[in-house]
Amino acid sequence: MRSRIFWLLLVVASVTFTSCGPEPPPEVIPPVNNGSDTTLVDVTELPPLRIPTDNPLSVAGVDLGRHLFYDDILSGNQSQSCGTCHNQKHGFTDNGNALSEGIKGQLGTRNAMPIFNLMWGNGFFWDSRASTLFHLVTMPIENPIEMDARVEDVLDRLNNSAMYKDKFKKAFGVDTIKEEHLSKALEQFILTITSDNSKFDKFNRGEANLTTQELRGFDVLKIKGCFNCHSSSLLTDNKSHNTALDKTPKDSGLMATTGRYEDRHKFKTPSLRNIMVTAPYMHDGRFKTIEDVIEFYELVLPNLNLEMNRNASDSMRIAPRNRITPGEMADVKAFLNTLTDHEMLNNPKFSDPF
């Protein structure tokens, strides 16, 4: 039996997968005879697969979704794809950019989040405004400062493409491509993007050893309380927290989705997986390096006013106040590098098919 001792040391969050809005359930599209193929997703260190019952994975569906993900046809002027701002080499984030630039040259207000392991996610985006991947995938397409397209126009292009007509026919058995088919194809591909083959995962499976420095880095993060929020094998609690980034924040965060004042300035906890290739950090990409992030939690947060400190997550309030030493910082970085999944970053199954 594979050893999971280090995952057991993390604080395992109780994750509930609930909707953040009154969105109606998507129309059920019967699968074609190629049906569900769970072998398209192979994980060991992650929770059991969570594949939507109304959208079983198929070879044809995932292949279609991958083509759509990397095709500029989805944007208004056909100059950008989903993959433009979600680069595989950067853990499916935006090429080191703090904010993403849309097709008209406008900058968004938030950092592009990684899109791996979303099979186990809930409340997607920094403000959890999308309750499911099915609803998530068309939001950037229609966003006027992102891909700025009308879904109706995208569907017209797809229905006039012999290649896509054939691919949608194979995936869903349809002659006319509709929005739900587009959403389900993109959802299928994103569901397959998983990350669980880092050095740390191999260590947990008894396939590799961590160095003394890497083990020290793990201990530092554990003592500092980092795993209170970056918990479980996913290295995120899938919850939102106010970590008191600003005394007078401009971004209301989760409150914009729920309308609850107690959710003001809360943002989704990102995973620590692949963290060393997904800079810059925080919802607005304000921190360029991991050192900047740690310095914030070590120095800035304890000095903020009491009211903001009360609004911070529990783990941030109880974190030790002793400043991290240069040696500990080096240890932490060494450990965080063990969370980089080079197989995912280079896996041709997730790469541009064109």
DSSP 28-85: P----TT---GGG---SSSPSP---TTS---HHHHHHHHHHHT-GGGSTTS---HHHH
pLDDT of residue 301: 56
Contacts with 17 (C-beta within 8 Å, 6 or more apart), sequence order: 50, 122
Q: Is the dihedral of CA 133, 137, 138, 139 positive or negative?
A: positive
* Spans of the chain, pLDDT less than 70: 1-38, 300-322
Written as six digits, the tokens of 3 are 């050893």
State phi, psi for 87 to the nearest 5 degrees.
-85, 125
Walk me through the domains of the chain, giving residue ranges and CATH numbers: 36-194 (1.10.760.10), 199-342 (1.10.760.10)
Helix%, strand%, coil% for the chain, nearest 5: 45, 5, 55
* Pair 276, 339: CB distance under 8 Å: yes
pLDDT of residue 300: 60
pLDDT of residue 131: 94
Dist. CA 180–CA 285, nearest whole Å: 32
**pTM score:** 0.86
**Which one, of 147, 135, 148, 146, lies nearest residue 99 by Cα?**
146
Q: How far apart are the first and last CA of the chain?
A: 41
pLDDT of residue 273: 98
pLDDT of residue 179: 98
CA angle 342, 344, 345 (to 5 degrees): 60
**Which one, of 194, 266, 253, 269, lies nearest residue 10 by Cα?**
269
Give the 3-state secondary structure of residue 238.
coil
Span 265-321, pLDDT tens digits = 999 999 999 999 999 999 999 999 999 999 888 876 554 433 344 544 444 444 445
